[in-house]
Amino acid sequence: MKTQQELFELLSETVLEDKATGRKRWFFSYSGHVNKLSITYYEFGWGTEERHVDCDVKLTVEGVQEAYWFINNRLKK
């Protein structure tokens, strides 16, 4: 089971990878006042093709798992 800290570490690594590669595939919006995270993933990069997948979660135990694995399963390793 992943923790909220592990989720935010993965989110940070993902942002840094996108910045380093210039691919702009990930967009994150965190609303701390309502404990929600919105993720948009553009498979071929933003602006290249508008095909994308969204994940909106409330950061409960279940939401943290959903968001973590949404990101992890789409990373190009």
pTM listed for this prediction: 0.87
Q: Which domain holds residue 59?
A: 4-72
CB within 8 A of 56, min separation 6: which ones?
36, 37, 38, 39
Model pLDDT for residues 14-60, shown as the tens digit of each residue: 999 888 888 788 999 999 999 999 999 998 888 766 789 999 999 99
Calpha distance 61→33 (Å, rounded): 17
DSSP label of 37: E
The total domain count for the chain is 1
CA angle 38, 39, 44 (to 5 degrees): 155
Residue 27: what pLDDT?
94
- The verdict on residue 77 lying in a domain is no
**77: pLDDT strictly greater than 60:** no
